[in-house]
Chain A
């Protein structure tokens, strides 16, 4: 085992330690807090790089090392935890620590004026620690523990400005909504444990993701003829639905924008939402396993694909008609997560994960860019009150434009193009149905459209706000530049000509082959994708770019085209209202009736019991006063009197003493003789 595998636990522990130390820091010690948090992240990043470098050298089909240890034993069962180092872990580690470090640095500038600066960095470090814990876990339970810690940290961060009612509500919403998914996840864990007796992923052939356990799971069937493996996989996927904001549990993600912008970038771009995707990738062997003799795609993966496809289009539609710059990005994230799920469902781990990595870079770039804009426009988030920022914030504009083009999938130079192309390609060749391909294509069109709309609103035309906008400080713009470079460069590793990322994950060597680019199928999908992007951008430019809106209260040009559709989209298809009217009202009614029951029935019973007890207590006290106390006093008195009597026996006359001996002798002897009759 290499030393990095042995010491992999250091990666999450360092930020955790930093969080613990910061939590005992006094509020004014800002510099200490920031240094600790960023320092720990930098160290984790360096360690992650080492881990990454180690995984690059693999001789035979995929690098994987695990370190397991006994946690505790109860009875004859021993619960074992552990961590794993494989390419999937390593690339995620590098991505999370790199993006995390940049976001931490950026936060120094963004939170500079906040009085709870130290608390913020404490939560950030805790969040990073939990996220890294998910990545290295080799045990579903350890993963779940970290998973819940991530949930807690995101709750704390979203509700960081808890004095704002909306922020407090959003934090609560995020926590509860993801928890609904986690119930399914947890049931899945329990089921998996009871079926296989282990929660370790890899354990020299005895782990739950290894062939013997999978063979067992796939041959057992549960209700409706479904394989146990399918049922467990879908339950685990429930957790991913919650965390990654898939339909129908996506509602928390846009609201979570109430948190500080670095949080939005960290949670909703790079890491937390990616946790769901990562989870699916981690348990992919369980997801894809099918019974022998049935060569079709597994049911679990079909579920993943459909959910992903629906989410991708659904969220993109809503994004078209939003005006809050962060909300647009949030819905865009939901939509992109749908793309990732589709990639996982149809193309395999590499396709989904590649989009995850590229998306992490350009989406955090966009979020941080949005943060920079909001910061420059004096906390203004409504794009209708921006405009013409190109002139005031040139650096932000340049990097933001790179992010936008990467997200939209503008060809050749941007990573988003290549990763999205992979997904479209795998959708095109999927055996089960062609519909996901059309949905994905439509989603991609919408993506290009709403991003162009946003850029036009924010950067072109004339400034419609009140206060004078300004460029952000260096500490905020430098991370933007670094991320922008990442957003461009990363695409190189996933082109069909040189699929380095895919071969890295599967453990082969990549070969450079330009001819693959020109193969008929690949080429046609690529051409379709280029056309889609062109159409999307052109349409948005026609509507918003050529005649920029003049004033803030002017109606949206799209509204002019079709008011009804626009209103539906602007109100997010009334999903939140639907939930309010159904689930939440039902819950409220149930809570009310439970409360009533509690008050009247149980409360009454308790009150009655207390009355009876009181009555008894009164009787008791009377008895106590009259008999017990009196009796006690009397017996104490008797004891004293007997004491006087006994000491009078001691009259000082030695004759009497000696008589006592005689009497005692006679009595005792008689007693003994009488006793043995």
Chain B
């Protein structure tokens, strides 16, 4: 087999740039920054990261070539480029939020892992071959396990990393098993060919086993119930910037690849999750995952005392909403999914950014947020925007995301309204969710502070949080800024 490495290189220039940036960050840190104060070091390294990521983004903005390498190992089209740009933007935000915290002295290593994880996500997005998918997935996961354990002073960080690793390893094993079963059934690696071979075999029990096993691995990545159990522990234990990275960037990439596998690889095996016309396939499985996620995520969040844990359950619930977008199995649902996860990622990075700031003055418990509006008014206002957006209050981005996902789910069975049961459940549960988001805001705005000291925020972090809040408002008011881009990329790709 002739493999054209020159073509691979030209197709993977953005990934290359990110990897080079990763090593550059390490180098710069080792050679120049060792003796500077931690905050300055982080700021400078975050700047290096930002420059690298921005040049990759810019390259993708300029170059419009599309590639499809042998056996779909690496695919480049407008849609993948858009998602990669989103992921890199999220990486930049995460890097600047890291400025606020001081959980480690090994900053060079931290940033190289962050960037390698990003590169893993980018490869994941571009892969349409099950082998490449698995490799990229592992690159991403392994980076994240290490990042989770990065706070060496904290025993919780280590515990969380271990749980995350064990759970992730188990899921990865299932996924690999599932993928190998699929290879066994079809004898093919690339998704389009798999779909072609699968035609007519979709009632094979072996296929069902393979399907469920494959879904487990990605269910784990997107923290969909019942594969969510690692999430609360890992979210709580990890350093906050890492949490935000797991919740934001990793989720966008995982949802994208999950949708791609299901849409492309298992095309023809959709089945039907409608209320009265159930047909086995992957939509019923996802419908069950979505329903469970929405219920468990929202209900369990109510009784949480830790804001990070609360946001972890909220992330599970939001994963459930996003699965609704996949359930429609069409372009419109896909566009709604990308819009949803992107806006969710922006919101959640902002929220964890605020948590990272507050953590410095105590902890991440709800009571630590008491009276924040007097201590840091701008930060509190941003937190209000994030919380209300997560709750889905118009005119914020979260509202439009939910609206878009729900309407595309309803329009799917325009004749039968088959998914109506799920949409109704999701809406009812988002009403419940308002309760715990408002709990956070109540602490911030109503309850009096025990600690009256003014909260000081690192300038880059403050800037990023405000920018994210503005983005959430603007994308809510003018959703077409993003939706238009997604639809344009879809129609081109």
Contact = CB atoms under 8 A, between A and B. Distances in A.
Contacts of A669: 205, 208-209, 212
A657 B278 contact: no
A658 B278 contact: no
A643 B208 CA distance: 32
A248 interface: no
Interface residues of B, number: 38
Contact of A672 (B232, B284, B302): B284
A654 B166 contact: yes
A1 interface: no
Interface centre among A640, A657, A668, A671 (most CB of B within 10 A): A668
A668 to B, nearest CB: 5
Interface stretch (B89-97, B124-132, B223-231, B443-451): B223-231
Nearest to B226: A664
A644 B213 CA distance: 30
B143 interface: no
Nearest to B229: A657
B299 A665 contact: no
Interface stretch (A22-30, A42-50, A645-653): A645-653
B232 A650 contact: yes
Interface in B192-209: 203, 205, 208-209
A669 B304 CA distance: 33
Interface in B277-332: 278-281, 284-285, 288, 296, 299-304
B88 to A, nearest CB: 32
Interface in A309-335: none
A183 to B, nearest CB: 51
Interface string B333-360: 0000000000000000000000000000
A650 B303 contact: no
A661 B280 contact: no
A602 B192 CA distance: 75
Contacts of B162: 654
B436 to A, nearest CB: 9
A668 B215 CA distance: 11
Contacts of B229: 650, 656-657, 660
B163 interface: yes
B151 interface: no
A670 to B, nearest CB: 9
Given A672-B208, A672-B285, A661 B299 contact: no
Contacts of A663: 226
A673 interface: yes
Contacts of B216: 661, 664-665
Given A639-B432, A643-B303, A669-B208, A661 B285 contact: no
Given A661-B216, A665-B213, A676 B203 contact: yes
A658 B171 CA distance: 9
Nearest to B309: A647
Contacts of B300: 643, 646-647, 650
Given A647-B304, A668-B288, A639 B170 contact: no
A571 interface: no
Contact of B208 (A644, A646, A673): A673
A429 interface: no
A656 B271 CA distance: 31
Given A654-B166, A657-B230, A644 B303 contact: yes
B205 to A, nearest CB: 5
A101 to B, nearest CB: 55
B211 interface: yes
Nearest to B173: A661
A665 B181 CA distance: 15
Contacts of B167: 654, 657-658, 661
A675 interface: yes
A613 interface: no
B15 interface: no
Interface in A119-164: none
B213 A676 contact: no
A582 interface: no
Given A654-B167, A661-B171, A675 B232 contact: no
A673 B432 contact: no
Nearest to A646: B300
Given A661-B227, A665-B213, A673 B205 contact: yes
Interface residues of A, number: 25
Contacts of A656: 229
Contact of A643 (B163, B209, B212, B302): B302
Contacts of A664: 216, 226-227
Nearest to A665: B212
B296 A671 contact: no
Nearest to A660: B226
B299 A639 contact: yes
Contact of B211 (A643, A647, A672): A672
A664 B212 CA distance: 9
B170 A643 contact: no
Given A650-B232, A676-B279, A657 B163 contact: yes
Interface centre among A639, A652, A654 (most CB of B within 10 A): A654
B23 interface: no
B403 interface: no
B174 interface: yes
Contacts of B280: 672-673, 675-676
Contacts of A658: 166-167, 170
Interface string B209-241: 101110110000000001101101100000000
Nearest to B225: A664
B390 to A, nearest CB: 17
Nearest to B203: A676
B292 to A, nearest CB: 9
Nearest to A676: B280
A599 B101 CA distance: 77
Nearest to A636: B435
A647 B166 contact: no
A507 B302 CA distance: 92
B170 A675 contact: no
Contacts of B163: 654, 657
B302 A639 contact: yes
Contacts of B296: 646
A472 B285 CA distance: 101
A111 B232 CA distance: 85
A660 B281 CA distance: 22
A642 interface: yes
A664 B304 CA distance: 25
A658 B285 CA distance: 19
A640 B216 CA distance: 29
Interface in A37-78: none
Contacts of B278: 675
Nearest to A640: B302
B349 to A, nearest CB: 24
A671 B232 contact: no
B167 to A, nearest CB: 6
Contacts of B211: 672
Contacts of A661: 167, 170-171, 174, 216, 226-227
Contacts of B281: 672
A675 B212 contact: no
B303 A640 contact: yes
A639 B167 CA distance: 29
Nearest to B208: A672
B303 to A, nearest CB: 4
Nearest to B164: A654
Interface in A597-654: 639-640, 642-644, 646-647, 650, 652, 654
B456 to A, nearest CB: 34
| 3 tightest Cβ-Cβ pairs between the two chains A and B | A643-B302, A675-B280, A676-B280
Given A647-B304, A661-B227, 19 more contacts: A640-B303, A650-B229, A650-B233, A654-B163, A654-B166, A654-B167, A656-B229, A658-B167, A660-B229, A665-B174, A665-B212, A665-B216, A668-B215, A668-B288, A669-B208, A671-B285, A672-B212, A672-B280, A673-B205
7 contacts: A647-B300, A654-B163, A656-B229, A657-B229, A672-B285, A673-B205, A675-B271
